[in-house]
């Protein structure tokens, strides 16, 4: 069981794309509480996915469990992305999810796993969500990595493409480029989110 969980944690941190619109120092671990206070700390990821942190200013050696009711974001030193507390409609609860791009459109990633009867990971399920102006998240794409390889057929559903076109409709050139696009791999989708956010900064 422990080996399985460690493998999932490794996959999460090694396969996440780089978030290029990131305000904090990626070389520091920190949490942000619901009062918007940034607390530099040490962070531990437990085998079952929970996170504990210990403020650098703490006088004791006690770690605190990160809860969405108190901590809205955390970042682990050396990781390109942070994790934010947010509600997922398909899960019916608030949990932590990796944010890959920040701007007018936010891009999020959620990774979960399935185990076989021998407590080994048999598949890893990746879902990408988007949200414009902090509206509720909408799923954009999902893929599954099985034992033996990854599956990314560079496609998205017609519904997802139409929804994304609606999100970028106020950026005419990018809208036309995406409408003619045939490559919908994760890296290409992140490019469009990133480019849209850059265009809106100008």
- Please determine, for residue 123, whether its predicted confidence score (pLDDT) is greater than 80: no
Name the more confident of 113 and 12: 113
- Please determine, for residue 17, whether its predicted confidence score (pLDDT) is greater than 50: no
The pLDDT of residue 32 is: 96
What value does the mean pLDDT take over residues 37-45? 94
Mean pLDDT (the chain) is: 83
Write 148-152 long-range contacts (CB < 8 A, 24+).
152/185, 152/186
Radius of gyration of the chain (CA): 18
The pLDDT of residue 25 is: 61
Burial 24-57 (b: 16+ CB within 10 A, else e): eebeebbbbeeeeeebebebebeeeeebebbeee
- Please determine, for residue 178, whether its predicted confidence score (pLDDT) is greater than 70: yes
- Please determine, for residue 148, whether its predicted confidence score (pLDDT) is greater than 80: no
Q: What is the Cα–Cα distance from 4 to 32, expressed in whole angstroms?
A: 29
- Please determine, for residue 102, whether its predicted confidence score (pLDDT) is greater than 80: yes
| pTM score | 0.79
- Please determine, for residue 11, whether its predicted confidence score (pLDDT) is greater than 50: no
Name the more confident of 178 and 113: 178
Highest mean pLDDT out of 48-52, 99-103, 117-121: 99-103
- Please determine, for residue 127, whether its predicted confidence score (pLDDT) is greater than 50: yes
Q: What is the Cα–Cα distance from 143 to 124, expressed in whole angstroms?
A: 8
**Reduced to 3 states, what is the DSSP secondary structure of residue 57?**
coil
- Please determine, for residue 16, whether its predicted confidence score (pLDDT) is greater than 50: no
Q: What is the token pair recorded at 147?
A: 């034992």
């Amino acid at each position: 069981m422990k080996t399985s969980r460690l493998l999932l944690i490794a996959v999460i941190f090694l396969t996440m794309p780089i978030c290029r619109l990131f305000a904090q120092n990626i070389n520091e671990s920190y949490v942000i509480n619901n009062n918007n206070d940034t607390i530099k700390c040490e962070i531990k990821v437990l085998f079952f996915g929970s996170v504990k942190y210990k403020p650098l200013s703490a006088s004791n050696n006690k770690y605190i469990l990160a809860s969405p009711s108190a901590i809205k974001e955390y970042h682990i030193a050396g990781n390109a992305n942070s994790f934010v507390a947010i509600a997922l409609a398909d899960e019916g609860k608030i949990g932590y999810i990796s944010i890959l791009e920040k701007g007018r459109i936010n891009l999020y990633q959620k990774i979960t796993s399935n185990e076989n009867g021998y407590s080994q990971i048999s598949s890893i399920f990746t879902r990408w969500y988007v949200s414009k102006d902090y509206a509720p998240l909408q799923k954009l794409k999902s893929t599954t990595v099985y034992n033996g390889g990854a599956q990314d057929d560079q496609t998205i559903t017609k519904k997802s493409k139409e929804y994304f076109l609606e999100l970028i409709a106020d950026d005419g050139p990018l809208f036309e480029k995406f409408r003619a696009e045939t490559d919908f791999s994760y890296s290409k989708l992140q490019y469009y989110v990133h480019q849209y956010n850059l265009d809106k900064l100008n």
